Amino acid sequence: MSTFWEINLNALKSSGKYVDLIKELDQVNPSAHSILANLNKHDYFQSVIEHNHIHDMNSLRSVVILGFEQGMIAEELLKRCLRQTTILVIDSDLESLKYVLMSRDLSEILIDPRLVLMIARETILKNTLKTYFLQKNTLFLTNRVLYVDQPIYEPTKPNYTMWLKEQFVLARQGLITLLGNSAEDTLLGLKNTVNNIENVINSYPLDLMKERLSKIPAVCVAAGPSLEKNISVLKQMKDHVVVIAVDTIAERLRKEGIVPNFVCSMERGEEVYESFYKGKTFDEKTILIGLSLLDPRIIREFEGGKSVVSPAQMPFDNWLKDSFSNLTFLDSGHSAAHLNYSLAVHLGCDPIILVGQDLAYGSVGSTHAKGTYDENEYIKQRSDLNQFHEKEMKFSVPGFYGGEVLTNRWWVLFRQWFEENIPKHPNKGINATEGGAFIKGAEHLSLIDVFNHYCNKSVDFSVLNTNDYSDNKLLKSEQIAHFLPRINEVIHQNEKYRGKLKKLLIDIETLNNHRKWEESKVKVLTNIVDFDRRITLELSTDKNLAQTIQYANFTYRSKMNRLIELEDFSHVQQVYAYLKEFITTIIYYAEKLNELYQLLVSNVMASS
């Protein structure tokens, strides 16, 4: 007879979602636990329902449960919630989880597709959530989330639920920055990627350079106002460190006689090309590290070496990499400065030194070093960019030298990325900005002290030669031959999706003409849920489409959730209008994607 552990382990394996979790559980030998062992399941469930003020199970779309415990809360919610509900259980106690899996048959809930069990350490929870949102296309569900706190946790983990909510907000905010600021912004990134396909195919594979600069110090140069005091020291260091610069500061460094070994660029808008590349001269020894969504003119016109990279786990780029292996994944975070740091880690550099990384306003309210962003003629003409810092709310955070400095919400988000990522890697992270915000997890030193202590050897820059990559025409031909049938299948599927969505639009109009169900709130809700299910089903089959319309999803579900929460179903026409508007939007962007797919085929054929 199988043990409970064997039954539950088989359920975890059959779901296909828990490969990493199973590996971790195999390493755990739990001691006996008796939490909740004597509690009546029904009584405890009722106490949790009352504690969290849950009134209507049918209205739940996305539920986050703090703690697996004996699985009883997840078990009871799965019995009562709709089949479209997603239930995410987050716990950090592997030992307790394994003990429960050895004590009860939970196979039925473990194989339920609505349940996701996430074991995440507190330090990496936000990044784990971002990966989950991307892979499972559930970002839109987080617009209305019920956080289920268990009373048993209050004595041991006060304020944990509030912290968990903050992690969800930060994960969503970070992912929005990555995907784009609107559906059109996301579509622009995809269009740029399509128009960069020849650059991708001919790109230097950055994976060939992995660990090539092991134990060599790198200076990651950003454009914060404190850089002014460090330019002279940076000049002394240039032969003893790898210089990795954001695009904003590259021109200023060139004028100072500092040739960056790498320049990193990640924004999709034309202002990046117009401001920092058009008409600019780069040393042929400088290597451009650019995201695939850059304005294609940047990569095409750059004189030096170039390597096209992609943010890890982006659906469209992930799909491209299956055919074009020279596309390298790097964690680009939310800014070119984050891409700088990830590149230094990839190269094996140690220590990694931050300079000009203020993440705060300068003493006179400045945002950038001289000769960079604020003084750029193109930026001066863009009133929307000029007014950003005037409108942005400012608040105080701990400073490099103690005391406090003024910052804004975006710089806080950027700083948190460093605070999460610096401790993750064995490479020593040093903040030598000598100004701006204090960055937890980094050692804080003056740049001259860093130079004297860590940079006493000259660097052999010949290892950065990208000419050692031979243009393998046979490999390119094989990759294109592998890609074309796949893209043709995607085009075929896109056509089918659009047909189904148009049929869904007709069904909504038909239902709108039959008002018999208007009097019943339950029937109204049931119809909304049914259409939601059908929409979600179509989106789940096309990750690229789901990626493109995240903002439309937010808008639509925000409107619908407001009606549900207010229990106001008197204006049925408004319900239909929301549904119609949303599906029409999806069809529009599906058609735009189809145009991009057709363009992609043309571009790939032209590069062969």
Reduce the secondary structure of 49-76 to three states and give it as a string: HHHCCCCCHHHCCEEEEECCCCCHHHHH
Among candidate residues 288, 115, 87, the one with its CA nearest the CA of residue 203: 288
Half-sphere exposure of 487 (CA within 13 A, CB side): 25
Percent of the chain with pLDDT over 90: 16
CA 372 to chain centre: 28
Neighbour-count burial of 18, counting CB atoms closer than 10 A to its CB (0-12 exposed, 13-18 middle, 19+ buried): buried
Q: What's the rounded Cα separation, in Å, for the pair 257 and 587?
A: 52
Banded model confidence at residue 351, pLDDT cuts 50, 70, 90? very high
**By the 8 A CB rule, do 223 and 372 touch?**
yes
Helix (H) or strand (E) holding 284: none
SS3 256: coil
Give the three-state DSSP class for 555. Answer: helix
Helix count and strand count (H, E) for the chain: 26, 15
Distance CA 548, CA 492 (A): 19
| pLDDT tens-digit readout, 300-344 | 899 888 899 987 667 778 788 888 888 888 888 888 999 999 999
List all residues 6 or more positions away from 381 whose beta carbon is below 8 Å from its beta carbon.
none
| pLDDT on residue 76 | 82
Tokens describing residue 550: 């995240």
Quickly state the pLDDT bin for 600 (edges 50, 70, 90).
confident
pLDDT over 90 at 507, yes or no: no
Residues of the chain with pLDDT > 70, as a percent, come to 72
Q: What is the pLDDT of residue 568?
A: 55
The CA-based angle 384-386-388, given to 5 degrees, is: 70
pLDDT at 571: 59
Supply the pTM of this predicted model.
Answer: 0.73
- In terms of Cβ atoms closer than 10 Å to its own Cβ (0-12, 13-18, 19+), residue 519 is exposed
**What's the pLDDT at 346?**
92
Q: What average pLDDT does this structure show over 149-174?
A: 67
Token code pair at residue 408:
């804004």
Phi, psi of 489 (to 5 degrees): -70, -40
CA–CA separation, 31 vs 8, rounded Å?
18
Residues with Cβ within 8 Å of residue 326, at least 6 apart in sequence: 200, 201, 203, 204, 205, 207, 308
Residue 432's pLDDT is 94
Higher pLDDT, 391 or 79: 79
Tokens 């209507």 identify what position? 56
What are residue 313's phi and psi, to 5 degrees?
Answer: 75, 10
Which of 53-62, 78-87, 325-334 has the least mean pLDDT?
Answer: 53-62
* Helix intervals (H) in 217-266: 231-237, 247-255
Tell me which of 489 and 126 has the higher pLDDT.
489
Query: For residue 313, how many other CB atoms are within 10 A of its CB?
Result: 17
For the segment 377-392, the average pLDDT, to the nearest whole number, is 51
The answer to whether 258 touches 235, Cβ cutoff 8 Å, is yes
Higher pLDDT, 524 or 208: 208
How far is it, in rounded angstroms, from Cα 602 to Cα 552? 29
Written as one letter, the residue type at 442 is A
Picking from 31, 40, 35, the residue whose alpha carbon sits closest to that of residue 68 is 35
Contact status, residue 527 vs residue 514, Cβ threshold 8 Å: no
Q: Which of 473, 589, 537 is nearest to 185 (CA)?
A: 589
How many residues can be counted in the chain? 608
Amino acid residing at 216: I
